Amino acid sequence: QKEVEQDPGPLSVPEGAIVSLNCTYSNSAFQYFMWYRQYSRKGPELLMYTYSSGNKEDGRFTAQVDKSSKYISLFIRDSQPSDSATYLCAMSAYNAGNMLTFGGGTRLMVKP
Amino acid sequence: DTEVTQTPKHLVMGMTNKKSLKCEQHMGHRAMYWYKQKAKKPPELMFVYSYEKLSINESVPSRFSPECPNSSLLNLHLHALQPEDSALYLCASSHSKEGRYTGELFFGEGSRLTVL
């Protein structure tokens, strides 16, 4: 079993839909939770960062962390074709914050 | 300036060649990273430099040799590579908060390497 599980997709939605992306993990030491967006043939871009549990909102994006369930989510409201990309969840432990464990990535396609 | 700049963007080399990948950041970050990414896979950590010292080497073959000349620059020297080393090589940097690193990494666009 992988430490971080993420559905690879592809996930195809119409423009304007609400998108829900999720990851589950097994390591209870994880305290830092990130979502990266990666466009084709580009480097990953940090989208959202959360420390420990809770919600964080930034524009159309909301990140949620439920440590009791070992489950994190990224919601995208009013999805746009420009949101089409691969979304990677990543997490790390408090004393090894820079040692990221990535999920496999979910490919999202938003159709006009 | 929130950029991590990598050169070259594309590199084709033979198995006997010696080449280098370069990375530069001017955000004052004190940790710099090399990752390798194969198609449809997440990035895999290769090396971490913290305050210009190699702090993590993820059992990478010696044909990959990292170098951190100063706090803004990171190189990856390549020698006697194999075709299976063809991949996207990503550089990243991060800052520390109260002496601790979080997972907030800033990635470059990557150098796409093809080994013939």
A31-60 pLDDT, tens per residue? 999 999 999 989 999 999 999 888 999 999
Given CB atoms, is B45 within the 8 Å cutoff of chain A? yes
Q: What is the mean pLDDT, run by run of 10 residues, along chain B of 116 residues?
A: 88 93 95 95 95 90 95 96 96 87 92 96
Report the pLDDT value the prediction gives residue B115, as an integer from 0 to 100: 95
The pLDDT of residue B79 is 94
**pLDDT mean over A63-68:** 96
Q: Do A51 and B101 touch (CB under 8 A)?
A: no
Chain A: residue nearest B5 by CA? Answer: A43
Distance, in angstroms, between A41 CA and closest chain B CA? 8
Degrees (nearest 5) of the Cα angle A65, A94, B71? 115
Torsion of CA A82, A3, A34, A40, to 10 degrees: -30
The percent of residues above 70 in pLDDT, for chain A, comes to: 100
Nearest to A100 among B4, B100, B105 (CB): B105
Q: Answer yes or no: is pLDDT of A62 > 90.
A: yes
